Amino acid sequence: MATNAIDQTRRMLSLVTYLRERPGAHVQDVARAFGITEDELISDLDVLPMCGTSFRGGDLLDIDTDGDRIWWHNPDDVAEPLRLAADEATALLVAARAVATLPGLRESDREALLRATAKLEAAAGESGAASSRLSVTFESEGGVFADVDRAISERRRLWLRYYSPARDELTEREVDPIRLFAVGHTYMEGWCRLSEDRRTFRLDRVAEIRLLDAPAAPPELELRDLSEGLVHPAAEDPEVVIEVTTRGRWVAEYYPHDSAEELPDGGLRITLRTPDPASLRRLALRLGGEGRIVTPPELAESARTAAREALAAYDETL
């Protein structure tokens, strides 16, 4: 069964208590106790070492695994009573109040969060007073996240207006959500009723979203392994070589690639694979003078033709 973000957070909080009481616990035993797969457990364990009692980077959970057993090396240090500094209390209170206003948040979760916020305010005293003068307004992605999370919890279908950069168009579709996850950006995986196939949607590309009364009924699917990232180019996919200037180096950060060689002028020669090389034509147009497609030659010529046509169309409007 798909797990939403709030349920995963609850599980990981319980996991901390469980591991503290069972040093050297076996991976398969812990996974069985929580009703999850070993891969899901390992994914949780990859996140826990980034958590702790201070956002300054200290007192993080020193948890690791050899694939068979799980070791927590500093449970006593982390278990010491928490004392928040003024800036920590302020940040936590502002964030808690902001999350409590999210649309789609389950009422029981909202009430629990507000109770915890009240306790924190009382404990922080003057240290948390500044938080009452601050507020956070979420971008549209926050509302989309809340609606998707609610749809997953209530097993309801969603209606989306979604921007597809590959086709440069907005499409309307109904989706049975499966799960939320983050790989650089936040995504929803779901069964798209328009294409009758599994699709992944980036939340910041959702122009409009609405919960439907229809129940979500995605087919039984094996969840994709995201440990190596969202995109997994195959060895047989066509190879594309792109050269970018120093201002185009961001391409190597956003596109999975086989290699990125330094160029004398500070740019990069990036080699990547994709099942649809034509989809990179928009990238070439976006780069403009900051990059160019080197190979395959037919794709390079296609990008140049598209650029010429765009310029001609622009001149005609002047």
**pLDDT tens digits, residue range 15-42?**
888 888 888 899 999 888 888 888 888 8
114-156 pLDDT tens trace: 787 777 777 666 655 555 555 444 444 557 888 888 899 899 9
pLDDT on residue 212? 95
Name the phi and psi angles at 225, rounded to 5: -80, 115
**What is the DSSP secondary structure assignment for residue 224, as one 8-state letter?**
P
Res 196 pLDDT > 80: yes
The residue with greater pLDDT, 205 or 106, is: 205
**Strand order in 259-262's β-sheet?**
259-262, 268-273, 239-244, 291-295
Instruction: Read off the pLDDT band of 167 (50, 70, 90).
Output: low
**What is the DSSP secondary structure assignment for residue 220, as one 8-state letter?**
P
Closest CA to 162 of 204, 100, 121: 204
pLDDT on residue 230? 58
Question: Quick one: 259 exposed, middle or buried, by C-beta within 10 A (0-12, 13-18, 19+)?
Answer: exposed
Res 252 pLDDT > 70: yes
What does pLDDT average to over the chain?
77
> 139-157: b or e for each residue (b if 16 or more CB lie within 10 Å)?
eeebbbbbbbbbbbbeebb
The residue with greater pLDDT, 48 or 41, is: 41
Instruction: Read off the pLDDT band of 1 (50, 70, 90).
Output: very low
The residue with greater pLDDT, 213 or 255, is: 213
* Residue 259 vs residues 218, 227, 240, 282: alpha-carbon distances, Å: 37, 20, 11, 21
Residue 219: asked if its preceding bond is cis (omega within 30°), the reply is no
How far apart are the C-alpha atoms of 136 and 95, rounded to whole Å? 7
> 59-81: b or e for each residue (b if 16 or more CB lie within 10 Å)?
ebbebebeeeebebeeeeebeee
273-290 pLDDT tens trace: 877 777 777 778 778 888
Element of type H or E holding 207: strand 206-215
Query: Can you read off the two tokens belonging to residue 282?
Result: 């928009």
pLDDT on residue 55? 46
